[in-house]
Structure 1
Amino acid sequence: MKVSQLYVYPVKSLRPTTITEGILTTRGFQYDRRFMLLKVIRAEDGSGTTTLMNMHVSHSPEMTLFHTDIEYPQTEKDSGKLIITYHPPPSEPAPKALETTRLQIPLQPNPKSLNPLKVVMHQSPTTAYNMGAEYNDWFSACFGYSVVLAYLGPNSREVLGTLAPAKQNKKPVLRTIRESITRPGRKWERILPILIVASGINIFLQGAVLALVLYYFYTQHAKNEDRITFADCAPYLVISETSVDNVSARLPEGEEMDRTKFRPNIVISGAGEAFEEDFWGALTVGAGLDRGSPKLLLTGNCVRCQSLNIDYETGKMGTGESGAVLKKLMKDRRVDSGAKYSPVFGRYAFLEPKGEGISLRVGDEVTVAEKGTRRSVFDWPGLTN
């Protein structure tokens, strides 16, 4: 099997940027889902108060009218550019309030110059930054209602449920501490428990030293915790070309399923059977030079919603057979007991830490390193049904 396509989504729910090579990080491809849009909701009581609501393509199909492109930094002082192009529906002119259908955004804004705001996605909170009127007004003119462009900056979100590899292999705290103490090369840490016992000057001192030790191990664990950006549930989404072909075969002759409607990061070609990825546990991808080939750990299914039915050209729900893809998949793809009313397509994936910074290219070979015999069960509080 090989990597056939790679996609980055610099702004959540807008069209992707197609890339031929991407830098892998434990939080997704570099620059993936670092921005998102929030709809401004004004109070009905006339008080003038407002709240911000997360925008997702399933509820705001007009988001598909925005195309993205990335101009990567060429020097250390160059922050790069994110270019957004608005394509009005064929039957509608561009809004009169819009001076240009093209917007340039710094790829790496300085958060210190921006106002922070709280964002909660699927019960997982984080702090983001309001990009300001220059960008908010442009998007608002395109949408026809007020929106805010938010930038994640250096922040991240917790992976809830058991999707994160560390949570699937969770060990008791004392066992984690014991393994860390006995790990080669950490001699001074082995001495700490001895110091705690030997320092029996008084109970207070012992408690203080013990608290420091536990705090150290807690912070070390936090550093290695799986985190995500504005992606829904995991840093990567992997799909198979063979499975896309299966969906295309359900459409009228001459029609093909647009693979980008599945919002993948990595598309794999060469799978022998449709949906065999349901049982992939790990994929070996790319080449890490002296570090060896890293693995993508596939921990859960991606359960699907009505976003599959959107007509990307009109920014509205599709009509005819292409507007009924979700219903077609309902017939035989409701295979996850954790989300029994939703069809499954694709797998959520996490990168092994040793793969940080390695490049993945279109054409790279992919090998199934681990394969399960049981279906995984989707588990994210508030998202299961």
Structure 2
Amino acid sequence: MPTISSLRVYPVKGCKAICIDQGAVKETGLAYDRHWLVVTADSGRFFSQRNEAKLALVEQAIHPPELLTTAGVEVPPDAELILKAPNVPLVKNSNGSDERHVICWEWKGVARDEGAEASAWFSEYLGKPSSLVRFLGRPGTNDAAADPTKRRRPVVPAGWGAIPGHEIAFSDRLPFLMTTEASLQGLNEALGKQEAVPMERFRPNIVVSDTGEPFSEDAWEAFSVQRPGHTPCKFKTVVPCDRCKVTTTNQETLKVGKEPLQTLAKIRSLDQLSFIPKERFPSHAVFFGWLCVAMGQGSIRVGDEVVPSLRDGPIK
């Protein structure tokens, strides 16, 4: 039986993962996933590892940690985001109250500036004027068109529409990214004598083990996460994740190479994956993992069983 082998959240977009044993499933993803953004001090345009690879070395933590693991827990007044990076002292966010305009991909909206201390910390670390901002959108409230704190539902390729009602914080496209250990093993076997690629390169939220053949998740229409005595959490696999150059950056040394994109182009391109309509992605797209939405809220943990539901026919 497939099971969850790893759960990961990234409170500050682009920074190092926090591995957790249990996660709270929210409308925007796992609790606090991509709820903070590092932006330029002037324009408010976001940084990611695409243009600031050094973010990969920034360690982060949420205090108290129960905020990440328990759905619906009340946020205490001393709750903190804690950051540290090489050669930069430990800093705690200052819970600033000023709002400012920011830009994340296509979205231009309003977020909370976390204050001068966090700004100085990232400015020193990145070597350029920077600020840390927090997502203010409240799921299930105003429509994004009328609320500048909420992001519009991102556009997915035509015909791959997500379930109505899904929302995101600062994730790229959809709230959850699911990968499997079997697919990573299949990729590394295809790499041959080259250095194996770790799962960290793909920055997933949910990693599943014991799924059988590599890339068998391509046939999943949905999956349910179950454990005795608890209501199952159901997810819909919406669209395969086309991968960018971040996957070529070693997350420990920041050295950039050609893999795994070069090998994925041989085994996971549009030419190899006939079930993906070619007109819905760039011609150079390569794929690893699936972007998903949750069909409700709840809690999942490492060791929970994963029960896939297979598609009846080809994706349309």
For the aligned pair, the TM-score class normalised by the smaller chain equals: 0.7 to 0.9
Asked whether 1:60 is paired with 2:52, we answer: yes
In structure 1, the residue corresponding to 2:179 is in which secondary structure? strand
Which of 224, 235, 239 does residue 284 from structure 1 map onto?
A: 224
- Structure 2 distance, partners of 1:254, 1:243, is 17
Check the 8 A contact 2:4/2:301 in 1, yes or no.
yes
Residues 60-97 of structure 1: CA distance to partner in whole angstroms, max 9, x if unpaired?
2111111222222667534422222203xxxxxx3xxx
Offset of residue 372 of structure 1 = 5.0
5 Å matches for 1:175-214? Answer: none
- Who wins on radius of gyration, i.e. which is larger? 1
Residues 295-354 of structure 1: CA distance to partner in whole angstroms, max 9, x if unpaired?
101111111011111022233424xxxx4211111112113422231101111111112x
Offset of residue 266 of structure 1 = 0.1
Equivalent in the alignment of 2:309: 369
- Structure 2 distance, partners of 1:247, 1:116, is 44
Which of 264, 267, 283 does residue 204 from structure 2 map onto?
A: 264
Asked whether 1:247 is paired with 2:239, we answer: no
- Structure 1 distance, partners of 2:77, 2:311, is 43
Q: Report the more deviating stretch, 266-275 or 332-341.
A: 332-341
Offset of residue 14 of structure 1 = 0.6
5 Å matches for 1:308-347? Answer: 308-318=247-257, 323-335=258-270, 336=276, 337=278, 338-339=280-281, 340-347=283-290
Asked whether 1:306 is paired with 2:245, we answer: yes
Residues 115-170 of structure 1: CA distance to partner in whole angstroms, max 9, x if unpaired?
2222333323432111121101011111111111111123431223257999557x
Gap runs ≥5 in structure 2: 67-73, 138-148, 271-275
- Structure 2 distance, partners of 1:39, 1:288, is 47
Offset of residue 103 of structure 1 = 1.8
Percent identity over paired residues: 26
TM normalised by structure 2 equals: 0.83
5 Å matches for 1:142-157? Answer: 142-154=125-137, 155-157=149-151
TM normalised by structure 1 equals: 0.69
Equivalent in the alignment of 1:2: 3
* Distance 1:316-1:38 versus aligned 2 partners, 3 A rule: farther
Asked whether 1:228 is paired with 2:163, we answer: no
Residues 29-57 of structure 1: CA distance to partner in whole angstroms, max 9, x if unpaired?
111111011124xxxxxxxxx42321111
5 Å matches for 1:26-65? Answer: 26-40=27-41, 50-65=42-57
Cα RMSD (Å): 2.6
Equivalent in the alignment of 2:273: none
* Distance 1:226-1:18 versus aligned 2 partners, 3 A rule: same
In structure 2, the residue corresponding to 1:51 is in which secondary structure? coil
Check the 8 A contact 1:302/1:344 in 2, yes or no.
yes
Which of 153, 161, 165 does residue 159 from structure 1 map onto?
A: 153
